[in-house]
């Protein structure tokens, strides 16, 4: 896995699954049922370590990804964050004036339990298993901080950025600096690689994409590598479409994560042949299973056979995914 991230093509692609620790596993649901809330699970190292390791006990995956959430950063900055059952995250929405009330100086101390989870995971994992840390990219995190919750079009954050450019720039500076500190601390705690989740890279014009997605991610990559030389970093700009090649070139990420809407032939034609890619099975194909699943797995592997490729979904695994289908996926990727 790590060799692939660093640009070495393998005979067969390594595999991990976004959100591989989560609600499709009954053992996860059992742990979650005994915690007060979702953030308690994220901040309890014993429990977060357990749920991170659960999918690796079931499946021969090549990597574990830290169990946490992208919204621990706004929580660490002092913004009110809670997770409502059946509703998802709910935040106290930022105003232009409240950006100055965020407290970046205490963020890393607040995140100490997450870093302890990373240390425990590195100690528990076999040496050949890659440990992936992560954070949300600044634009994606900002959309939740400004909008107060997830949104199909991120309209409130887009308007905020246009109408209050100074406050927005201040917010992005805070998120970039905090993300650099957080990712460096994850590497120091034992992470082998990290992923930047830019989950809301869509719905932006080319100027906004350059300013809000490419430049902040570039600054994070450069900032992390200034302190962790040659740090292996995966970038996942979901919905980047025609901006994919520019994102990869200008941010300097090692691996470009592809969402499931990215056509295989587009990726082959427009991305550098030496650029490692990750992806990009539609999570609902994994739900449906059957021969269509086998065929699509084979198509993806064939499309990226001549370049370094990490097999993954093109977005997170969904709760209704049958466990048997995940086992079938891993078996087919590993053994054909």
d(Cα 312, Cα 329) in Å, to the nearest integer? 10
Residue of 32, 82, 119, 227 with catalytic role: 32
Q: Which of 70, 69, 73 is nearest to 42 (CA)?
A: 69
- Asked if residues 226 and 239 have their Cβ atoms less than 8 Å apart, the reply is no
Query: In the annotation, is 69 catalytic?
Result: yes
Query: In the annotation, is 58 catalytic?
Result: no
The H or E element that residue 209 is part of is helix 206-209
Question: DSSP class of residue 214?
Answer: I
Query: In the annotation, is 294 catalytic?
Result: no
What three-state secondary structure class fits 333? helix
Beta strands in the chain (DSSP E): 63-65, 81-84, 88-91, 130-136, 193-198, 233-237, 255-257, 277-281, 309-313
Question: DSSP class of residue 129?
Answer: S
Residue of 9, 23, 227, 332 with catalytic role: 23
Residue of 43, 62, 69, 259 with catalytic role: 69
- Asked if residues 16 and 312 have their Cβ atoms less than 8 Å apart, the reply is yes
d(Cα 247, Cα 211) in Å, to the nearest integer? 11
Query: In the annotation, is 144 catalytic?
Result: yes
Q: Which pair of structure tokens corresponds to residue 70?
A: 């992208």
Distances (CA, A) of 35 to 27, 44, 70, 185: 13, 10, 19, 26
Query: In the annotation, is 182 catalytic?
Result: no
Q: What is the full DSSP assignment across 90-107?
A: EE----TTGGGG--GGGH
Q: Please state whether the peptide bond connecting residue 280 to the residue before it is cis, i.e. omega within 30 degrees of 0.
A: yes
Distances (CA, A) of 222 to 195, 207, 214, 215: 14, 21, 12, 10
Go through the chain and tell me how many residues it has: 336
Residue of 24, 28, 144, 247 with catalytic role: 144
Residue of 19, 218, 238, 296 with catalytic role: 19
So which residues are the catalytic ones? 19, 23, 32, 69, 144
């Amino acid at each position: 896995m790590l060799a692939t991230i660093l640009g070495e093509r393998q005979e067969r692609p390594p595999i991990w699954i976004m959100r591989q620790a989560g609600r499709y596993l009954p053992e996860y649901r059992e742990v979650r049922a005994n915690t007060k809330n979702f953030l308690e699970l994220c901040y309890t190292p014993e429990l977060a370590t357990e749920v991170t390791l659960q999918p690796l006990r079931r499946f021969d995956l090549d990597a574990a990804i830290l169990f946490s959430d992208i919204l621990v950063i706004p929580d660490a900055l002092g913004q009110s964050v809670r997770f409502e059952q059946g509703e998802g995250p709910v935040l106290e929405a930022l105003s232009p004036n409240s950006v100055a009330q965020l407290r970046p100086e205490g963020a890393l101390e607040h995140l100490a339990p997450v870093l302890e989870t990373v240390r425990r995971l590195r100690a528990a994992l076999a040496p050949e298993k890659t440990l992936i840390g992560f954070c949300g990219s600044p634009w994606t995190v900002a959309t939740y901080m400004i909008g107060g919750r997830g949104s199909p079009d991120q309209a409130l954050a887009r308007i905020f950025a246009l109408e209050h450019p100074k406050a927005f720039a201040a917010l992005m500076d805070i998120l970039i600096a905090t993300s650099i500190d957080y990712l460096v601390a994850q590497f120091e705690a034992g992470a082998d690689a990290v992923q930047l989740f830019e989950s809301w890279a869509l719905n932006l014009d080319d100027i906004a994409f350059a300013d809000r997605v490419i430049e902040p991610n570039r600054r994070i990559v450069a900032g992390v590598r200034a302190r962790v030389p040659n740090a292996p970093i995966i970038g996942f700009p979901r919905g980047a479409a025609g901006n994919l090649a520019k994102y990869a070139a200008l941010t300097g990420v090692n691996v470009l994560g592809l969402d499931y809407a990215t056509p295989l032939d587009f990726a082959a034609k427009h991305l550098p042949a030496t650029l490692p890619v990750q992806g990009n099975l539609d999570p609902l194909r994994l739900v449906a299973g059957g021969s269509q699943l086998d065929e699509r797995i084979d198509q993806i592997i064939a499309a990226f056979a001549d370049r370094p490729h990490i097999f993954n979904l093109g977005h997170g695994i969904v709760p209704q995914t049958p466990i048997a289908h995940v086992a079938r996926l891993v078996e087919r990727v590993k053994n054909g």
